[in-house]
């Protein structure tokens, strides 16, 4: 796979950021909290472990390499916004295990390597569908902290892909938040409490989730 770090730098200038749209619902803003101003991009955060697959199923190598694969095939793809740290957005990141489960759901076969998982998903649905799934995990126009998410039960968010998902706060005390996507038959992901507010202090922020969000019935 092409390195995300190098690919996004070539593609970011050509990306159509305006096509991403806006947040689809107001979120509860935390009181007396300064707005983030840092411009470190999520692409640089994803690439920090070396732009490679590994044997740790609980990091984000498949997201990293999926973005690179999309941009290698479609240099003008709006997923390149992840490399522009000046553009506010919130990304919800499925870990590598979540993509392994998705690959099994799509093909009924378990892949033993991260690279095999990405290749199987791309082979099953095509690079355009991979792009749409990635964009469905990006909420442009807002830096949504975990604190805001916990105060936003039933908020409906419009994603960069154009579809929506709903924030379902099951417990503010225990920090239990579910994201309800467009696939009625799958298991909806939860926020991972140990992987919240990644890249905090910057206008691009991310939260780990336990499953891949699905923009339609896959």
Domain tally, the chain: 1
Q: Look at residue 218 and tell me if it is in a domain.
A: no
What single DSSP character describes residue 92?
A: E
90 has which bridge partners? 139, 205
Instruction: Give 78-121 pLDDT, tens digit per residue.
Output: 999 999 999 999 999 999 999 999 999 999 999 999 999 999 99
What single DSSP character describes residue 201?
A: T
The answer for residues whose C-beta is within 8 angstroms of residue 108's C-beta and 6 or more apart is none
| Three-class SS state of 75 | coil
Q: Look at residue 73 and tell me if it is in a domain.
A: yes
Return the CATH number at 54: 2.30.180.10
Domain that holds residue 193: 4-209
Instruction: Give 25-82 pLDDT, tens digit per residue.
Output: 445 444 446 788 899 999 999 888 767 899 999 999 999 999 999 999 999 999 999 9
Q: Look at residue 215 and tell me if it is in a domain.
A: no
Q: What is the pLDDT of residue 10?
A: 40
Q: Phi first, then psi: give them for residue 209, nearest 5 degrees.
A: -130, 160
Q: Look at residue 181 and tell me if it is in a domain.
A: yes
């Amino acid at each position: 796979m092409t390195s995300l770090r190098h690919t996004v730098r070539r593609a970011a200038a050509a990306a159509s950021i305006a096509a991403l749209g806006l947040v689809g619902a107001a979120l509860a803003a935390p009181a007396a909290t300064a707005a983030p101003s840092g411009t470190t991009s999520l692409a640089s955060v994803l690439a920090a472990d070396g732009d490679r697959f590994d044997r740790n199923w609980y990091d984000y190598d498949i997201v990293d390499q999926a973005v690179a694969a999309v941009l290698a095939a479609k240099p003008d793809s709006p997923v390149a916004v992840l490399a522009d740290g000046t553009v506010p957005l919130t990304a919800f990141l499925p870990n590598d295990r979540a993509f392994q489960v998705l690959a099994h759901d799509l093909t009924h076969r378990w892949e033993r390597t991260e690279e095999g998982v990405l290749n199987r998903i791309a082979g099953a649905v095509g690079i355009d569908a991979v792009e749409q799934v990635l964009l469905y995990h990006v909420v442009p126009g807002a830096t949504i902290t975990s604190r805001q998410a916990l105060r936003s039960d039933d908020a409906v968010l419009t994603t960069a892909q154009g579809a929506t998902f709903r924030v379902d706060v099951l417990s503010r005390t225990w920090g239990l938040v579910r994201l309800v996507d467009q696939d009625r038959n799958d298991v909806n992901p939860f926020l991972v409490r140990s992987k919240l507010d990644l890249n905090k202090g910057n206008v691009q922020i991310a939260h780990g989730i336990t499953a891949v969000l699905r923009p339609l019935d896959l």
